[in-house]
Structure 1
Amino acid sequence: MPSYGLALSGGGLTGVIGGLCSANSVLTMFPSLATPDLAVSTVSGGSIGFGIYANANEKLNYYDLDFTMPYTSAASDSKGSAEIWFGNVVNYLNWIPGTRRLSGSSPSPSPSSSSSSSVSDIQAGFWTNAIDLCFWEGYSVHDYDITGGSASGPSWHANFALIDKDVCPIKRDGDGNMKKAETGLVYASMDMQASELTTSTGAPLSIEHKTPLDVMSYSSSFWTASILESSTEYFFLKSTVPTGTLDSDTTVYLNDGGLVDTTGIVTLLQKKVPRILAFYNNNEPLSTLNSTFADLFGVEVSTDTMNSLEGASLAQVFNESLFDGVIGNLTDGSVLRARLDNVQVQANSYLGVESYELEELIIFSNEYSDDFVNAFEDADIAKNLDANFPNSFPVSLPVLDTNVLCMFEDFKVGKYKEELAALFEQ
């Protein structure tokens, strides 16, 4: 059992940049963590972000936190002395065919599409090809060179969701929860180094393609949500959604992991990891969408098409009484951190979690922080940040916002350096 866990949430391109930069921040500050004693659990955008970190980190020029940085530098995609600007992903995964957007479920026209969704825009395997293009053109990593990381480094577990073909097109209740989720929605994970697949039910899963590239695409396949919910889109586009076989005889669609757990925490609880650090980089303010955490605490709230479709009754692993304190700290821009010590994890057969005592859980949020933004000496940085910074970008991130978002991860890690040192026993 790993001693430590690092959870990197979903969240579109915000989740990609957040996942990449938070992994770099933590493992730069605590380099001795980079061993198999650290389990990294990723979902959706976080899976792509950590995939970039695991395969291209040594080539990248990050924008480390520097409050004296001039605006001209903060708004530059400079390679510096490195080979590649870390944020190249925003130039390659910034659109989606038809009216679907990368960073969420609400429709928004893409830069290269008409205002109406075209069935011909989406072809089987297109999302894997898009990630492949991003890794090669953006980071000079060939598809055949993409790995799950070094065997001497952290273990990496990328998470995705399975939806039984027989319950599609899916139906949702008034709170947005998926009907028949108890039998029709299953959480799955792959050990990206060992290529070992596991499911929350324990049933064996067989998929034809399971390279790290393929699994990153399943984990981040946000675009399947509307297809599997709309009768019309399902009729025309179901053949584009990748499939697998569960328990030898059940055909399942492979979908974005955020449909069950956007946070990435669940997989670490399945492994009974005693100390967990979670970065929540979802591209949705917690003030408007908190089902991603509320469900884990058994608190009934509404959700959307992309997050926690099973609902609180199936997802609860923590005591409900803890939720208000957690969400209060996460939504406070002067705090941005929730911490639980010696908390009892409740057994959850649906998620495949057994009861145990979690020694420590620290969660960092991605809410707007005046303390951070206004600390830059050059006022043009705060003045020119997009109004959507840091968690409401409709499609992609401008260069300035990409760099500042990366520095935001450094800010949070540095702000709580002593707590993290205690968490990791440094």
Structure 2
Amino acid sequence: MSCLRVICARVHSNLVDRCLHPQSHGSQLKWLAAPNPRTYIGSGKVAEIKTAIHALDVETVIFDDELSAGQLRNLEKAFGGDVRVCDRTALILDIFNQRAATHEASLQVALAQMEYQLPRLTKMWTHLERQAGGKVKGMGEKQIEVDKRILRTQISALRKELESVRQHRKQYRNRRLSVPVPVVSLVGYTNAGKSTLLNQLTGADVLAEDQLFATLDPTTRRVQINNGMEFLLTDTVGFIQKLPTMLVAAFRATLEEISESSLLVHVVDISHPLASQQIDAVNKVLGDLDVESIPKLMVWNKVDKADDPETVKIEAEEKGAICLSAIYGDGLEQFCFAVQAKLKDAMVPVEACIPYDKGELLNTIHQVGMVEATEYTENGTVIRGHVPLPLARLLTPMRQRVTGTH
């Protein structure tokens, strides 16, 4: 048996938090043994919602689940007038469309919207008369067939353009990987505070609003810790429960940034009443992306908004999580130390003799690695410590030189 939430709202701008946060008020709950194939909900609930629509002057009704084309059509007929019926996927796509600020994000959202619309063209048109076929005998093709063909052509063109974007982003990543700076990706539920954390650590000016999906494009900035070590910090698109599959597919180029990371930082809004469900939702998406092998660090953000911050901090310590308040900067130093420790676990121990004429290489080792001991010899500077694997490969000849001296 499943629970369906139906939200009635007068203005579309109020729908975001009401639909996507289950604890919201102004919604109706309906327990179903199985969805009604015609209207998803039963006839009694349809009548009840229709009464509420007229009483409250409702403009939009949102179902917190995906509806078929037939269910959407039947519900709109039943509710009558100009009432819009919207399912969860359509709402998320609408929000993404409003947040898309770059050409790449616009392409990704447009592709997802078209793929959502394609199967819903069926029986949703009143102009089903056939077009004249010119000199061709017969009635020609139905308007809906023309519309579908046009939509498929547009989808194909968008996929090609996005593949070009994906290849460009891949080339950029390859160039970035040639300089062995560890990449740390911020992941988490939407509105958990990832962009705020990036801004605090790097001084970046990434949009950080108290709203869902404020960031759709990955943003990467360099972070330097007090001891001189550096890493790249990437802000990624926020996740959500029941994230539509078409969105995951459309944002593949963006989400591939996550798969190239040295460390994933899972940012959680610990003040949210459904924080545990949000953690599960993020873990599910990460599982779908097949990134389980990448080390992870759990960060509990917005601890300042928790009912009992001290108890939250004690619980976080027991679970190995880092507590912080990104907006006020509390806990950032502890966060950087934790990132450094996690990155060290993913590094390779090295002992190498760096010639004195390779000063840039020695500087890189100090920036991206962890130098534990330094010794100046006749042949060069001997360092012992941990470095990322790509840098360890560059140091292979010099490591052999050290081995030969013992």
TM-score, structure 1 normalization: 0.27
Q: Could you say which structure has the larger radius of gyration?
A: 2
Which one has the bigger helix percentage?
2
Q: Which has the higher contact order (CA 8 A, sep 6+)?
A: 1
Q: TM-score, normalised by structure 2?
A: 0.28
